[in-house]
Chains A and B, each alone.
Chain A
Amino acid sequence: MAQPRTLFDKIWDSHVIAPAGEGTYLLYIDLHLCHEVTTPQAFEGLKLAGRKVRRPDATIAVADHNIPTSNRKAGIDEPESKLQVDTLERNVVEFGVPYIPIDSINQGIVHIIGPEMGLSQPGMTIVCGDSHTATHGALGALAFGIGTSEVEHVLATQTLIQAHAKNMLVEVNGSLGAGVSPKDVILAIIGKIGTAGGTGHVIEYGGSTFRSMSMEGRMTVCNMAIESGARAGLVAPDEITFEYVKGRAYAPKGGAWEQALAYWKTLPSDPGAHFDKKTSLDAGQIAPHITWGTNPEQTAPITARVPDPADIDDPLKRAAVERALQYMQLKPKTPLVEIPVQRVFIGSCTNSRIEDLRAAAAIARGRKVAEGVRAMVVPGSGLVKHQAEEEGLDRVFLEAGFEWREPGCSNCMSMNPDRAMKGERIASTSNRNFEGRQGPGAKTHLMGPAMAAAAAVTGRLADVRQLG
């Protein structure tokens, strides 16, 4: 009998064209997502070498990082942002790459629109010049972020030279408690394995918790695989996946659907497949989580206190915690629920899908944003925005005093006008709490959408379970 293989092994094996050198392989790429930030230098490289895009029909571009999320019709004010978007728009014409214009209802964050349009499918290899590409792994695809030189390589050849990553299994079993979201699951995982726990590995998220999790939830989890250092994160495709993909604009139809479905069902890891590394968590033990520090492993249950560096033996880790607390202006042993916030951001490729907005709206409904807090909700795409408005969620947010914005990357990182003011403390549903990421001196606490809404209405970090 053939050697049992993991989901990752199966996708890898079916995409290897040839060995490229000792330990490295030439890998075929099925779908290449492009945005304005990491492509200009790649297109320039093609131009200088007189090369073309090999497969425009496997490539799609959208502008998301630089796009203002209000008053879209006024265009882009900030000259550097405008130049980057204009450059993308010129390059897609010159190279014949399909492009989703800013005024299209399909425009949105690249990692939201790929699955939503049915472009991201099980068993594919998907790349993008963006570390959060692992999001698409939720569909059972091998999806990973690449640098600009690799973007150029894919544009020119539709391939990449890659070393085979190792297999890692993160298993979570059991039911999540009330008020506990997929974001809490991934924050708990990163807190356990650390920011480098997945380095050199592709993580498969397995176990009953993921089997019963929605596609939106799986995308939140896979999105942050990179925050534990993993090359990619993925979840085996199952009925929930197929139901999600079916009928989407670019999903296979008719006979092609049946053919694709039969193939997708062969993808899940075989019983007894080898994982180089394994860890597990009990879903019932996971409380709503937030980050207190300046990297995503500096995470704690909301019921905890700010850690005390004096309790840490490892001198390098202690120094890192001391530095984080100094930047975050937090005193050791302060209860997390006593930390006030000035800003709330609900959005980003981690948590801006319809389910996220529903969860936040459920907390916002009938409440008011606390005085002195600026709270914004930024849907991940035009389609998410439209759906939310159909459900009346925009009214809920606006009545509670949240801002209801146009789709884009927004305040996740400071490349567009949605920047935190110097030193502001933010409850954010995004994926990185690095120093300065949301604006110079900005102090980020990562959390799920309902927790962020709870922070908005209480004016401090709050345990959503106490708001009911």
Chain B
Amino acid sequence: MEKFTQLTGVAAPMPAINIDTDKIFPAIHLRTIKRTGLAKHLFEEIRFRADGSENPDFILNQGPYRQAKIIVAGDNFGCGSSREHAPWALTDFGISCVIAPSFADIFYNNCFKNGLLPIALPQAEVDKLMDDAKKGGNAVLTIDLDKQTISRPDGEIVPFAIDPFRKHCMLNGLDDIGLTEQKAAEIATYETKTRGERPWVFGLTEKAGA
């Protein structure tokens, strides 16, 4: 995973609440075996018209927002499915940070595996950043993950909270699986102990494929 340290860019305002994973990445395009090149389907149903042309009303089709690196969104962003295609499509488009009052749990988890920083802030703070975002190309935001701050165009600093373990992994671009493999001995000890306590859960699927 790529490291995430600092980010400066245009933020696109998407004030709607409950922006769901089907909206971010329609189910029909889940029929892929790749995790790259998915930006073309990002927000497809609202971003494009039936004839395939761009919908000029959609924010990411407008001027400086085509280069947006940040989305400022409404409550419960990413609700719905577990599809990691949603963060894959966002990062492929160039989005590296989403700011919202709250996120759906699975989407939130998936973001961290892909160098996409989800920042949850109180509604009043999100409202201020939403106003900044509406100003377009002249109003870039700067995110500093190490300091846990967002710098507004007027110089105000908005602090944000983040789980220290996730922050550490993101700052250093660490691979979760590699980290867990360092605990191989503890996993093996747990398995041995559990085999004694709950033997019936072991070997469960061995014959199931037959």
Contact, CB under 8 Å: A100 / B35: no
Contact, CB under 8 Å: B187 / A28: yes
Tell me, in angstroms, the Cα distance from A30 to B165 when the chains sit together: 25
Contacts of A434 in B (CB 8 A): 20, 22-23, 80
In the complex, whether B198 has a CB less than 8 A from a CB of chain A is yes
Report if A159-B180 is in contact (Cβ < 8 Å); known contacts: A17-B187, A23-B165.
yes
- Please tell me the number of chain A residues within 8 Å of chain B, measured between CB atoms: 91
Q: B79 contacts which of A28, A195, A413 (Cβ < 8 Å)?
A: A195
Contact, CB under 8 Å: B23 / A145: no
Contact, CB under 8 Å: B82 / A129: yes
Q: How large is the interface on B (under 10, 10 to 19, 20 to 34, 35 or more residues)?
A: 35 or more
* Smallest CB separation, B100 vs chain A (Å): 11
Contacts of B210 in A (CB 8 A): 98
In the complex, whether A301 has a CB less than 8 A from a CB of chain B is no
Report if A22-B165 is in contact (Cβ < 8 Å); known contacts: A37-B30, A56-B205, A153-B180.
yes
Contact, CB under 8 Å: B181 / A435: no
Write out, one digit per residue, whether chain A residues 65-104 have a CB within 8 A of any chain B CB (1) or not (0).
Answer: 1100000000000101101100100001000011110000
- Mark the stretch among A313-321, A334-342, A367-375, A391-399 that contacts chain B: A313-321
- Pick the most buried of A51, A58, A100, A437: most chain B CB atoms within 10 A of its CB: A437
Q: A316 contacts which of B75, B84, B190, B202 (Cβ < 8 Å)?
A: B75
- Mark the stretch among A117-125, A210-218, A236-244, A354-362 that contacts chain B: A117-125
Contact, CB under 8 Å: B33 / A229: no
- Contacts of A379-422 to chain B: CB distance below 8 A: 413-415, 419
* Smallest CB separation, A254 vs chain B (Å): 10
Closest to A41 in B: B35
Closest to A253 in B: B200
Report if A196-B75 is in contact (Cβ < 8 Å); known contacts: A17-B183, A57-B202, A263-B198.
yes
Contacts of A158 in B (CB 8 A): 187, 191
Contacts of A37 in B (CB 8 A): 30-31, 83
Contacts of B110 in A (CB 8 A): 147, 149-150
Contacts of B109 in A (CB 8 A): 146-147, 150
Closest to A152 in B: B177
- Contacts of B1-51 to chain A: CB distance below 8 A: 15-18, 20, 22-23, 26-28, 30-35, 45
Q: A147 contacts which of B23, B76, B82 (Cβ < 8 Å)?
A: B82
Q: Would you list 10 pairs from A and B whose C-beta atoms are within 8 A, ordered by A residue? A: A22-B165, A57-B206, A97-B209, A119-B204, A131-B82, A147-B84, A149-B84, A260-B198, A414-B26, A437-B22
